[in-house]
């Protein structure tokens, strides 16, 4: 019985909670990818840099707030910085759209053209981020780091395995859940959200019904900005801010969005969880957990790890390929056009 509890605690602490946190961060990013795809009809290569830039701006605001002597108490100050960063990021996105994407929408350019332009935006954002904050990242989490510490839990429970619960993980899961609920409420229950879905579904029909396309595009970018700030900052609080690591988020986010079906918000969330848990489960060393559950004679010798952690990205990609081969429209997508 104790062994089983130990195994459960070990898995919860090392696999389930980190997986939920990572999945939530990916989901916030993938929701942005999928919304941009749904409304604007292209996959934005700049999205990972968008997350990175949102985090960089938040860090600057956080430093400024800390300099003013403001803090959020036990919570990270970045939560306040985040609120300030959202309008800035929205302006960045809308500005980019005005300067670039709008022109290509007007001339009805092919999706490849949008992708190339978004690659240009990616290069520019990348350079600006490095100019502003330097190529090496920084940690910006302050306040109380742990809700449940390893030692505290061990003393309380008497189990051999510790349960660790970081503030950033709880914040991530909570904020992601709230943001998702708010987003679905917006998309399904408000006039603006409904017009947005109508526009994504059938552009011409929506235009005929009097939907203002400029307003829809603006709204999409604002939502994408809010989601990017949330995703980027929560990821940064959890794992530290490194511009290079943020670039590598592009693939898992794309994979999550494609797995769920590009353009489907529910799909983006489910896809993110699939990607996050597959990545962790396949690169997780199961030895300890199995040793608790199996009889002593069967205890595994090796690490019982399907893939070394360096191949994390291979997992998201493998899932992507399988879905593209078996069900190209994704789990929740409509038939690919």
Partner 1 sequence: MSRTPLLFAAMAAVLLAVGLLQSWQLALTILNLCLISAVMALGVNVQWGVAGMFNVGTMGSAAVGGLAVVLVSTPPVRAAWAAGGGGLLATGAVLLATAGLAALLWRRMGDRSLLRGPAVGAIVLLGLAVSQRWFLPATAAIESVDAASTGYLGGLGLPVALSWIIGGLLAAAVAWPIGRLTAGLRSDYLAVATFGISEIILAVLRNEEWLARGVKNVTGLPRPVPFEADLQAAPWAQHLAAWLGWSGRDTASVLVKLFYAAWFLAVLLVIWWALERLARAPWGRMMRAVRDNEEAARAMGKDVARRHLQAFVLGSAIVGIGGAMLVTLDGQFTAGSYQPLRFTFLIWVMVIIGGSGNHKGAILGAFLIWFVWVQAETAGLWLAATAAAALSPENPVRLALEEGPAQLRYVVMGLILVLVMRFAPRGLIPETTPETPR
Q: Is residue 111 near partner 1 by the rule CB under 8 A? A: yes
Q: Which H or E run contains 25?
A: helix 17-40
Instruction: Indicate which single residue of 127, 145, 151, 177 sits in contact with partner 1 (rule: CB under 8 A).
Output: 127
**From CA 107, how far away is CA 168, in angstroms rounded?**
44
| Exposure string over 289-300, b if 16+ CB within 10 A, otherwise e | bebbeeeeeeee
Cα–Cα distance list, 162 to 17, 132, 146, 230 (Å):
13, 40, 13, 29
Residues near partner 1 (CB under 8 A), total: 51
For 188, the token pair is 């399904």
3-state helix, strand, coil in the chain (%, to 5): 75, 5, 25
Q: Is residue 130 near partner 1 by the rule CB under 8 A? A: yes
DSSP string, 296-318: GGG--SS---SS-GGGHHHHHHH
Q: Is residue 87 near partner 1 by the rule CB under 8 A? A: no
Instruction: Indicate which single residue of 1, 68, 208, 326 sits in contact with partner 1 (rule: CB under 8 A).
Output: 326
Instruction: Indicate which single residue of 119, 177, 205, 299 sits in contact with partner 1 (rule: CB under 8 A).
Output: 119
Whose Cβ is closer to partner 1: residue 117's or residue 231's? Answer: 117
Instruction: Indicate which single residue of 60, 251, 281, 285 sits in contact with partner 1 (rule: CB under 8 A).
Output: 251
The angle at the Cα of 15, spanning 226 to 55, to the nearest 5 degrees, equals 25
Q: Is residue 296 near partner 1 by the rule CB under 8 A? A: no
Q: Is residue 211 near partner 1 by the rule CB under 8 A? A: no
Shortest distance, position 124 Cβ to partner 1, whole Å: 3
Whose Cβ is closer to partner 1: residue 184's or residue 313's? Answer: 313
Site string for partner 1, 152-191 (x = CB under 8 A): ----------------------------------------
Instruction: Indicate which single residue of 95, 134, 174, 240 sits in contact with partner 1 (rule: CB under 8 A).
Output: 134
Site string for partner 1, 300-319 (x = CB under 8 A): --------x-xx-xx-xx--
**From CA 37, how far away is CA 59, in angstroms rounded?**
28
Q: Across-strand partners of 96?
A: none
**From CA 302, how far away is CA 328, in angstroms rounded?**
37
Which three-class secondary structure state does DSSP give residue 165? strand
Chain contacts with partner 1 (rule: CB under 8 A): 37, 42-43, 45, 100, 103-104, 110-113, 115-117, 119-128, 130-131, 134-135, 247-248, 250-251, 254-255, 258, 262, 308, 310-311, 313-314, 316-317, 320-321, 324-326, 328, 336-337
């Amino acid at each position: 019985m104790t062994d089983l509890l130990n195994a459960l605690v070990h898995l919860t602490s090392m696999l389930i909670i980190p997986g939920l946190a990572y999945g939530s961060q990916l989901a916030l990013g993938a929701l942005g990818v999928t919304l941009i795809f749904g409304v604007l009809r292209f996959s934005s290569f700049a999205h990972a840099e968008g997350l990175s830039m949102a985090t960089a701006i938040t860090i600057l605001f956080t430093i400024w707030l800390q300099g003013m002597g403001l803090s959020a108490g036990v919570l990270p100050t970045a939560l306040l910085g985040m609120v300030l960063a959202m309008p800035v990021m929205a302006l960045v996105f809308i500005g980019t759209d005005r300067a670039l994407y709008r022109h290509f929408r007007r001339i009805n350019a092919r999706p490849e053209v949008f992708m190339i332009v978004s690659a240009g935006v990616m290069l520019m954002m990348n350079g600006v981020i490095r100019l502003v904050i330097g190529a090496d990242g920084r940690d910006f989490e302050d306040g109380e780091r742990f809700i449940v510490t390893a030692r505290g839990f061990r003393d309380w429970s008497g189990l051999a395995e510790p349960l660790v619960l970081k503030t950033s993980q709880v914040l991530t899961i909570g904020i992601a859940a709230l943001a998702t609920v708010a987003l679905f409420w917006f998309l399904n229950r408000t006039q603006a959200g409904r017009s947005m879905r109508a526009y994504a579904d059938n552009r011409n029909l929506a235009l005929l019904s009097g939907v203002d396309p400029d307003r829809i595009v603006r709204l999409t970018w604002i939502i994408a900005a809010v989601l990017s700030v949330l995703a980027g900052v929560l990821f940064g609080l959890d794992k530290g801010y490194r511009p290079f690591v943020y670039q590598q988020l592009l693939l898992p986010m794309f994979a999550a969005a494609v797995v769920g079906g590009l353009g489907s918000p529910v799909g983006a969330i489910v896809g993110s969880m699939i990607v996050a848990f597959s990545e962790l489960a396949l690169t997780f060393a199961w030895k300890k957990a199995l040793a608790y559950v199996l009889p002593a004679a069967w205890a595994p010798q090796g690490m019982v790890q399907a893939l070394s952690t360096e191949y994390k990205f291979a997992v998201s990609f493998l899932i992507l390929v399988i879905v593209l081969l078996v069900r190209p429209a994704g789990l929740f997508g409509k038939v690919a056009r």
